Structure 1
Amino acid sequence: MVKHQRQGFFLFCFIFVFLIFFKCTVFAEDTVSHEKDYLDEETITTVADPLEPWNRLVFQFNDRLYFWLIKPVARGYSMVVPEDFRHAISNFFHNITAPVRVVNCLLQGKIKSAGVEAVSFVLNTTGGVFGFHDFAGKDLKLRVVDDEDLGQTLGNYGIGNGIYIVWPVLGPSTLRDTLGTIGDGFLDPVNYLELENAIMVHTIEFTNKTSLHLGEYEDIKASALDPYIAIQDAYIQYRNKKIKK
């Protein structure tokens, strides 16, 4: 009996961590959409990269995966689902992850922002039809300055980036942000669905978000002599700027 309980516990842990890291894929895709803003800045931000040989191999793997699989799927999806619907789906997923933002606002002492996030969640879930419409933001002009996550919270308390990591499929991250994403995963309600349902929901979320940002990764590659360094630098600058807000 005890043996079966332990097996069940370890299976649960494995599945939960898998779903959290699947969620990282969406996080990384969202980050790429902001990285272009930092490519033309003169400041070069350094980060410890002792895993660079491995990271570069993973970067090349992710690059090929994007062009051979992810982009074609997202492009086909965008041809079937109208853009307005895709934005509505994006609003829905942003709304259901409100607990992540509320908790991290509170952990950073941003009481007002936490309140705005909580109120926005209630308004969007009700008046926005389960969050598909950003009722609080578009109609009531109720907006939070910036999304908060555990990686930012840890940075706010003085914890540095740690080493730079490029995860297979998931993309650029740091040790701090990886740990932060795992922590945030416990607040994501999707991760508590049955395994097959959770995977399906995260896949829809990732495909939908990718379809809204097609071409942005290509722009980053085209404007950089070394895309690996360009994305690394832009990612670190982007995360550092979010922490300072």
Structure 2
Amino acid sequence: MENVLDAQSVEVTAPVEQVQPGDEASALPVSDPAQNQAEEQQQPDEPAEEGSIVVEASGNHPPGDPIAQINEQTYTVVASIDQAFVEPVALAYRDALPSPVRRGLSNFFRNLREPVVFLNFLLQGQVGHAVETLARFAVNSTVGIGGLLDVASADPINLPFRENGFADTLGFYGVQPGAFLYLPLVGPTTVRDGIGDFLDTLVLPLAVGRPFNTPYYAVTAYTIRSLDERVELDDRYRIIRASASPYDLMRQIYLCERQSEIDTLRGREAEDCVDTFRLDEPPPQPVAPEADEVAPQAEPVAVEDQGVEPADQPLDVLPAIEPQAQPQ
């Protein structure tokens, strides 16, 4: 029959359900953020392309350095000032004063530390070293002309200077260094060492008084000791400056030497920090630009290079060419 529809020619479509505007969000598939995060963590890391540089960031600070970012920023500023101002002044100080004069000033201020060294050896119970330190102070203060000459270190006395202080005494009895600090005008230190160094500076002003308690002496002594130390450690400054991470290297050297000093006082085997960080090697020298690196000048081009044969005779001896007569 004509009114009978062919089932194969009829397209049956499902009724379209109209979505209300408020139901658009509900029509989308819902995903659990926690599940997505877990799936991302389970996915293996994609390998980096060959030749690419992978940088891994970490918010963790080095052990014992909770304010590493502030310390490093302070060190960067101080190192720039040192290179621009302090280093030239220290090298001028080295060149202006003869070596015996500089050595005499260094001996004088080191001799003034002997009472602090003596007191801390007593606090540590090392009576033998305390007696030797007292003998050094007596000999150098008299025969050594107020400490300008280190007579006690030479033959036949042979009493070398031993570094010691309240920071060493605190470490001797097991006080931990605490947080590492880098302070302007002080340099690298720790909480323990900062307290100990402050106590060291109080011994002479409180025990003797004038002139050690005057600002004039404090500023003069600090300036001379700082310049002398800067000259003595100039190679080390250059090595640290040329390293890939100057702040980290400076920090590691300081902590190594402080721990080595305390281990020596305790009679333990101390690490050789000079050998560990290769501080005895000559520092890298700045490379001056060579003459070959200057932009080369254009070389004169030979006639053969242009494809033109050179003239057999100079121009001034070539035969003159007579002008041809014009036709009438």
TM more than 0.5: yes
Matches within 5 A, 1:75-224: 75-144=91-160, 146-189=162-205, 192-222=212-242, 224=243
Paired letter, 1:216: R
| C-alpha contact (below 8 Å) 1:97/1:187 kept by paired residues | no
In the aligned structure 2, how far is the partner of 1:240 from the partner of 1:69?
31
What secondary structure does 2:233 align onto? coil
Q: For 1:169-195, what per-residue CA distance to the aligned partner results, in whole angstroms no more than 9, with x for missing partners? A: 321111000001011111245883321
In the aligned structure 1, how far is the partner of 2:70 from the partner of 2:148?
40
- Unaligned runs of at least 5 residues, structure 1: 1-45
| C-alpha contact (below 8 Å) 2:153/2:161 kept by paired residues | no
Paired letter, 2:263: K
**Structure-2 residue corresponding to 1:238:** 257
Q: For 1:194-222, what per-residue CA distance to the aligned partner results, in whole angstroms no more than 9, with x for missing partners? A: 21332123212222332333232112222
- State the TM-score, normalizing by the size of structure 2: 0.57
Paired letter, 2:238: E
Paired letter, 2:213: L
Structure 1 pair 220–140 and aligned structure 2 pair: CA distance change class (3 A): farther
Number of positions where the alignment pairs a residue of Structure 1 with one of Structure 2: 199
In the aligned structure 1, how far is the partner of 2:152 from the partner of 2:120?
20
Paired letter, 2:108: F
| C-alpha contact (below 8 Å) 2:211/2:217 kept by paired residues | no
- Shift of residue 114 of structure 1? 0.7
Structure 1 pair 175–191 and aligned structure 2 pair: CA distance change class (3 A): farther
| C-alpha contact (below 8 Å) 1:162/1:176 kept by paired residues | yes
Larger CA deviation: 91-100 vs 187-196: 187-196
In the aligned structure 2, how far is the partner of 1:154 from the partner of 1:111?
17
What secondary structure does 2:134 align onto? helix
- Shift of residue 145 of structure 1? 7.0
- Unaligned runs of at least 5 residues, structure 2: 1-61, 265-328
| C-alpha contact (below 8 Å) 1:105/1:114 kept by paired residues | yes
Structure 1 pair 128–184 and aligned structure 2 pair: CA distance change class (3 A): same
- State the TM-score, normalizing by the size of structure 1: 0.76
In the aligned structure 1, how far is the partner of 2:153 from the partner of 2:262?
23
In the aligned structure 1, how far is the partner of 2:235 from the partner of 2:75?
18
Identity of counterpart residues, as a percentage?
28
Paired letter, 1:208: D
Larger radius of gyration: 2
Larger CA deviation: 185-194 vs 213-222: 185-194
- Shift of residue 144 of structure 1? 4.5
**Structure-1 residue corresponding to 2:317:** none
In the aligned structure 1, how far is the partner of 2:211 from the partner of 2:102?
22
- Shift of residue 133 of structure 1? 0.7
The one of the two structures with greater contact order (alpha-carbon pairs below 8 A, sep at least 6) is 1
